[in-house]
Amino acid sequence: MTTSPIDRVARATPAAAARRIRGLSDRTIAWIFVAPSIFLLLAVNIFPLIWTIRLSFTDFRVNRPNNDMEWVGLRNYQRILTDDDVWQTMQATAHFLIWTILLQVLIGFFLAFLINKKFRGNDLWTTIIVFPMMLSPAVVGNFWTFLYQPQIGLFNYVVAFFTGADPAGFSMIGDVHLAPWAIVIADTWMWTPFVMLICLAGLRSIPDSIYEAAECDRASKLRQFFTITMPMVLPFLMLAVLFRGIENFKMFDLVVQLTGGGPGNTTTLTSIDLKREAFEKWRTGYSSAYAVILFVTVFGLASIYVKALNKVKDR
């Protein structure tokens, strides 16, 4: 007769302990197992969220612990939503989000399509392409400042080589029109490989037999692309968009290193603005309201998006 490890553990359990455990229902045992996780979730996520919501209705400042905390109702929310500067940061964030996602999806999908073909050195190229996403965003931001340097920067020289412009004649991070694109380019360089990997997973999940059947039906390559490849990769693409959207909505380190939010407020994204309010101005109540607004925005948009994603998957 063979005995399983569970049987052995059961036999080794002291009789007194075994009696106590036998007295517990499955539901109780389940609760015992999940309780630590629930406690951690409450302590680390839920409680701070509730506390933040509470603080958002006050004028609390964490650097003035001796001051009385006053209840200000919706004043913080009203100030934020009627502040032109906040809306400007929202616009900067929207510009950054839309263009990074668009470029990363297009280039990432294109790269994945190429890498999916069998050719010599395929693995090596895949490794080289994914290299940027292995770097720290702060490091990427830092060295792109050098690439964008008008006098010594490689980027300016490459642009000058192709356009004939004076490399010292334009400053990617100092010009109000170019700076928003400077952060888009750096982020696209860094995170396109991530989108590519997800697309690659999607492409490789398509069985060859579907393409073979299409070939038998004499479907053109273009037709195969739009009726097989795209629909089957779409859920993966949408997942990549979700990940990049959430990540870029809270983008901070790369942009701070690259432009510091400038020139002026041109590249001040909401996360940078929020950090300034919370940890430089120490307006804790105000910044809590700001954080709640951003949370609701991201949560709302993400929920709508996930529903759409599920519909696509169910098709």
Partner 1 sequence: MNRILLAGVAGGALMAAATMPAAADGHATDLTLCWAAWDPANALIELSKDFEAASGHTMNFEFVPWPNFADRMLNELNSGGQLCDLMIGDSQWIGGGAENGHYVKLNDFFDANGITMDDFIPATVTGYAEWPKGTPNYYALPAFGDVVGWTYRKDWFERPELQAEFQSTYGRPLDVPATLEELRDIATFFQGRDIDGTTVYGAAIYTERGSEGITMGVTNALYNYGFLYEDPDQPYVLDGFVNSAGAVAGLEFYKSLYDAGTPPGSSNWYMGENIDAYKSGQVALQMNFAFIWPGVEADPNVGGGKSGYFPNPAGPAGQFAQLGGQGISVVSYSDKQDAALEYIQWFAQPEIQAKWWELGGYSALKAVVEDPGFATSQPYAQTFLDSMAIVKDFWAEPAYADLLIAMQDRMHAYVIAGEGTAQEALDKLVEDWTEVFEDEGKL
Of 40-48, 126-134, 224-232, 252-260, the window that binds partner 1 (rule: CB under 8 A) is 252-260
Of residues 170-189, those binding partner 1 (CB under 8 A): 170-171, 173-176
x/- string (CB under 8 A) for partner 1, residues 113-152? -----------------------------------xxxx-
Exactly one of 188, 229, 259, 288 binds partner 1 (CB under 8 A); which one? Answer: 259
Which of 181, 189, 252, 282 contacts partner 1 by CB under 8 A? Answer: 282
CB of residue 261 to partner 1, shortest distance in Å: 6
Q: How many CB atoms lie within 10 A of CB 172?
A: 24
The answer to whether 59 and 72 are in contact (CB under 8 A) is yes
Q: Which of 114, 130, 133, 168 binds partner 1 (CB under 8 A)?
A: 168
The dihedral sign for the CA sequence 234, 237, 239, 242: negative
Judge whether 265 and 95 are in contact, CB under 8 Å.
Answer: no
Which of 194, 139, 180, 149 has the alpha carbon at shortest distance from 264?
180
Distance of CA 49 to the CA centre of its chain: 20
Q: Tell me the C-alpha distance between 193 and 107, whole Å.
A: 9
The CA-to-CA distance between both ends of the chain, in Å, stands at 50
**Least distance between partner 1 and beta carbon 291 (Å):** 18
Scan residues 42-101 and list those touching partner 1 (CB under 8 A).
Answer: 59, 62-66, 85
Q: Which CB sits closer to partner 1, 229 or 259?
A: 259
CA dist., res. 278 & res. 61, Å (int): 9
Residues 227 and 291 sit within 8 Å (Cβ to Cβ): no
Nearer to partner 1, 256 or 294 (CB): 256
Q: Contact residues for partner 1 (CB under 8 A)?
A: 59, 62-66, 85, 148-151, 153, 168-171, 173-176, 256, 259-266, 276, 279-283
